[in-house]
Structure 1
């Protein structure tokens, strides 16, 4: 399988392993078409389901991740062999013409000359078909060989720690489509020491719901403003869940043992009095520690305690700006 095939395979694997919240989201989207036909109580129940599913989605970002890329295994893939012209059909047609013996009916109706001519004409047709098949195989080989060469090139560069190769691989895998869909943007930086940092613009106010929806005993919809403390807790869990998801995806794509994820959002700049996009979480995800987490049961905010990180959060006030981690602290010296 070539480089592009590897990307497609791992992307398909990630889709197959999607979490339950995502499957539930698709089911609810299908039911949305029937919303206008629902009775009032059905609509209320549907709205609560959509609300709860959205909260589940944003708090479980970290639970999904693509399969790890085996770069050394890709590097060991054998070079595709160039096809050879076989001439099999021509040989068969030539043999048929050379060994032709007219039967009784051919002699009786004087068909021998016509049949011999037909057999000879088939030799030319067989040559053309042999050539057509060879060219088709050659085209397939050229494509496979190009992908093999590209795969080998990027694998060598990745294993050598090439900065641009890391960025190329991350772009090719498109692992952050879900986060982007929820309103977050990601910028990748490879620092001097080779440490990769992802800067994630969270835009939490666009993602975290400002209302709580629930059903009354009567089955009617209850909509209440979300308390600031609850909003801030959801915001923190969402930020940490996104950061952990980004860290996992990067560690799956790259052979690096550590990556930095810095989350940014609009917070008050006390020196200017304005809301500005600033770092609110910066964390260094190490591969052994990430691999040791039980991702189905962890609290994403509490999980940050397992890593070197900067985060300032209070339930009543929410996030405060922090300094991004200095990548030089984690650079590997050779």
Structure 2
């Protein structure tokens, strides 16, 4: 498998086993366009379905994870082959000109010149098509070559134990896009003394965790109630644990590290002082 196939395979693997909750979330997003046309009871059922799915997503972040990455294969992957200009369409068009032999009727009706002219014009069109096709292939080769150089450079750095290469690998594979979609953010750095990867997960629970509970009444109508503080804190705890497990698993599969330190941080409101303050929730080694 060439370098590009290897990279695509690894990227696809990291997203191959999509959780049922995540699949359902994307299906519901597609249905949102038809929401305005739904009847009241259908809208209520849809909103509850979306709410239940969102809770499921928050509690199952850890269930999705990519397979281990073979950095040696990436480092040894062959470079993309530079395209060669063949001009095959032009050659075929010129051959058609050479093979043209006007018949008696064509000469009699004096249409042989027009036919020959069209064949010559077809040569020009074919020549342009060949050039356009080659230009496209060449531009793609230039991009692929740049990507290959970047990716093999990352792989070589990983194998040589370069600290920055680990950060570059995380940025390239972007295994935490789902967390960003939910509203959380992640920052990375390398401890200068131990060389251990330090990860800070900013939960942003105030934005991620819902404040309401949606359900259907026996009548089929929508019920919206304020989520109790205890329930919300329980959901926040589940989400934090799920995220930390996901981050740790992704990094240990992506990098040849034996240990990472993941710290979950969130900013909460102190009801006694009315001041928002950052709190450390969990550390995973």
TM-score bracket for this pair, using the shorter chain length: 0.7 to 0.9
Equivalent residues in 2 for 1:71-86, closer than 5 Å: 71-83=71-83
Query: SS of the residue aligned with 1:25?
Result: helix
Higher relative contact order (CA 8 A, sep 6+): 2
Change in Cα spacing, 1:3 to 1:280, as seen in structure 2 (3 Å) is farther
Mean CA deviation greater in 243-252 or 216-225: 216-225
Q: 1:168: which partner in 2? A: 168
> Deviations for 1:131-158, whole angstroms, at most 9, x for unmatched residues?
7776665555444333322222111012
Query: SS of the residue aligned with 2:246?
Result: helix
Q: 2:177: which partner in 1? A: 177
Query: SS of the residue aligned with 1:205?
Result: helix
Equivalent residues in 2 for 1:53-132, closer than 5 Å: 53-83=53-83
CA shift, 1:18, in A, is 2.1
Distance in 1 separating the partners of 2:94 and 2:211: 81
Distance in 2 separating the partners of 1:94 and 1:11: 45
Contact between 1:161 and 1:194, CA under 8 Å: does it hold in 2?
Answer: no
Q: Does 1:33 align with 2:35?
A: yes
Q: Normalising by the residue count of structure 2, what TM-score does the alignment of the two structures yield?
A: 0.72
CA shift, 1:88, in A, is 7.4
Change in Cα spacing, 1:44 to 1:144, as seen in structure 2 (3 Å) is closer
CA shift, 1:248, in A, is 2.3
> Deviations for 1:284-323, whole angstroms, at most 9, x for unmatched residues?
1xxxxxxxxxxxxxxxxxxxxxxxxxxxxxxxxxxxxxxx
CA shift, 1:244, in A, is 1.1
Q: 2:251: which partner in 1? A: 250
Query: SS of the residue aligned with 2:161?
Result: coil
CA shift, 1:160, in A, is 1.6
Mean CA deviation greater in 74-83 or 236-245: 74-83
Distance in 1 separating the partners of 2:219 and 2:89: 79
Equivalent residues in 2 for 1:301-316, closer than 5 Å: none
Q: 1:205: which partner in 2? A: 206
Change in Cα spacing, 1:215 to 1:71, as seen in structure 2 (3 Å) is same
CA shift, 1:94, in A, is 9.9
**Hey, which of these two has a bigger chunk of helix by percent?**
2
RMSD (Å) for aligned C-alpha atoms: 4.5
Structure 1: gaps spanning 5 or more residues: 285-334
CA shift, 1:4, in A, is 10
> Deviations for 1:13-47, whole angstroms, at most 9, x for unmatched residues?
61x532111222233331462376323xx444333
Contact between 2:3 and 2:77, CA under 8 Å: does it hold in 1?
Answer: no
Q: 2:158: which partner in 1? A: 158
Q: Normalising by the residue count of structure 1, what TM-score does the alignment of the two structures yield?
A: 0.63
